[in-house]
Amino acid sequence: MSAADAFYITTPIYYVNDKPHIGHAYTTISCDVIARFMRLDGKRVMFLTGTDEHGQKVAKSAELKGIAPQAFTDDVSERFRELTKLLNISNDDFIRTTEPRHRDACQVLWKTLVDKGEIYLGSYAGWYSVRDEAFYQESELVGGKAPTGAEVEWVEEPSYFFRLSAWADRLLAHYERNPEAIQPASRRNEVLSFIRGGLHDLSVSRTTFSWGVPVPGDPAHVMYVWIDALTNYLTALGYPDTTDDRFKAFWPTVHHTVGKDIVRFHAVYWPAFLMAAGLTPPRRVFAHGWWTIEGEKMSKSIGNTVDPHDLVSTYGLDQTRYFLMREVPFGNDGDFSRQAMIGRINNDLANDFGNLVQRVLSMVQKNCGGKVPSPGVDAALLAQEPLIADAHGLVERVRPLIVAQSYHKALEEIWATVGAANRYIDREAPWTLRKTDPDAMARVLYILMETIRHLALVVQPFLPTSAARVLDFLGVAADDRDFKAVGTAHALLPGRDIAQPQPIFPRIDTSAPAPGAG
């Protein structure tokens, strides 16, 4: 396998100091969409998620519960693993930073950086935020707090440092050569501004707590959480064995998806660590925005965090996936509101797509004996029909949008074809043709069925369960559901039985209870 055939997508590994919320679901679903699309498009995909389990914050959380850190992380990590099942996530691996394979990878990377003269022993005195697991300069504090609003404390201790100050010019040169390596553009500008403002050597070890990966040869120190956590992306590919086929194929294609609050770690510290170790930096870091809840900042203290379990149980799984990917341009901040979600479900899903499928297949059941009708023309002539041509080109139009992680635009493109199909059925009125021209009715219904087949194929990454149901209704075989099935060669065969359609997206009663907060 070559890198040209491979695609590596990662979520950040989620910090195990609390239960999953809507933000975790958002990031994970977005990565699942691109992973599923790439598989359908013929790529070999590696999709990684997992949990970040070391650091002072975890140790304190465990202490407050009166349990050992490992027992604490075992429990919370399992909640994130369960989240992948709840959301129908197709990840290929789930990594935990407490695993032996990860400890070994971290220690090899550390030794490599030491051998190359990139890490040295010194002492640290400065402001540290336990919540952010980050050090801040005096000039970065706002009102005596971190820029994130977190409390800071003065820390003085021996520390190993990474020579980050030596990497500014090389980082800037890398981003000059690879302008797409940080997305969206606002985050790229933020990162470049930070680098140009001057980089300081980075403290990469701690001695005031012990819950972490021990520094090789100096067990009084544990690795700073970011050098530990970030290495997970290498660990999952078999690092330090860089001759591993997975590493050789996937690492050059790595795409990291992160929240905007951790873009600095992924787009400044991480590529510097990698280049210093003789490894290539990430192909892309995409930093998405944050969600507010009904116009308010999400906060445990005011009790408005939304549990993904409540979303799924109240609105449905694919409905939740659709809303999160459709409502907000990926990269921007967004607001979750119950009214907006119900609007998307009832209008986009139930009225537009679901009703299209129900109308067309019900007419086929009623007027064509439950069998695929004959279009009455050959494939070449059929392909010239505007709606068929539109459907045949859908994957080509959506592909660059998915590659750019512009998920809302991809869905807009798909729904443009949904709209075209609905206008076509209203214009051609097959219920009238049934009496005046049955052959024309059959052709219209066949064109609509083929359009629905293509819509179901391309919407699979977003709505995997619902798309599968539509393809089941049409009798499409399991091995005819990837993008090689686009076009006339795999078209529905006239005379084949179709299933009795059932509603795919039930309308939401506006009096339904809001999802619970917690």
What is the per-residue pLDDT for 291?
Answer: 86
Whether residue 224 has pLDDT greater than 50? yes
Backbone dihedral angles phi then psi of residue 376, each to the nearest 5 degrees: 80, 5
* Averaged pLDDT, 73-85: 95
Residue at 400: amino acid letter: P
Question: Which has more confidence, 3 or 58?
Answer: 58
What is the per-residue pLDDT for 518?
Answer: 40
Find the helix or strand (DSSP H, E) in which 297 lies. strand 296-297
pLDDT digits (tens, 9 = 90+) for 6-28: 999 999 999 987 789 899 999 99
Q: Which pLDDT band holds residue 331 (cuts at 50, 70, 90)? A: confident
Q: Which pLDDT band holds residue 2 (cuts at 50, 70, 90)? A: low
201 within 8 A of 164, measured Cβ to Cβ: yes
Find the helix or strand (DSSP H, E) in which 11 lies. none
Whether residue 57 has pLDDT greater than 90? no
What is the per-residue pLDDT for 1?
Answer: 56
Mean pLDDT, the chain, rounded, equals 93
Structural domain 3-289, CATH architecture? 3-Layer(aba) Sandwich (3.40)
Question: Which has more confidence, 114 or 148?
Answer: 114
Residue at 499: amino acid letter: A
**C-alpha triplet 133, 138, 139: angle, nearest 5°:** 110
> Which strands sit side by side in the sheet containing 134-136, from one edge to the other?
134-136, 119-129, 153-162, 202-203
Query: Going along 148-213, which residue ranges are E strands?
Result: 153-162, 182-183, 202-203, 205-206
Scan for tokens 């971290």, then name that residue: 106
In sequence order, the 6+-apart residues with CB closer than 8 A to the CB of 299 are 305
Structural domain 340-485, CATH architecture? Orthogonal Bundle (1.10)
* Averaged pLDDT, 307-335: 94
User: What is the CB-side half-sphere exposure of residue 488 using CA atoms within 13 A?
Assistant: 12
Question: Which has more confidence, 118 or 147?
Answer: 118
285 within 8 A of 269, measured Cβ to Cβ: no
> Domain residues of the chain, as ranges?
3-289, 340-485
Whether residue 154 has pLDDT greater than 80? yes
Pairing of strands 218-223, 153-162: unpaired
Q: Which pLDDT band holds residue 292 (cuts at 50, 70, 90)? A: confident
d(CA 159, CA 205): 5
- Prediction pTM value: 0.93
**C-alpha triplet 190, 148, 340: angle, nearest 5°:** 85
319 within 8 A of 313, measured Cβ to Cβ: no
Question: Which has more confidence, 378 or 461?
Answer: 461
Least confident of 7-21, 98-112, 299-313: 299-313
175 within 8 A of 285, measured Cβ to Cβ: no
> Which strands sit side by side in the sheet containing 296-297, from one edge to the other?
296-297, 291-293, 334-336
Residue 258 class from Cβ within 10 Å (0-12 exposed, 13-18 middle, 19+ buried)?
A: buried
Separation of CA 188 from chain center: 19
d(CA 224, CA 129): 13
Distances (CA, A) of 330 to 198, 264, 316, 347, 405: 29, 18, 22, 21, 7
Q: Which pLDDT band holds residue 517 (cuts at 50, 70, 90)? A: very low
Whether residue 186 has pLDDT greater than 50? yes
Pairing of strands 6-10, 254-259: parallel
Separation of CA 73 from chain center: 23
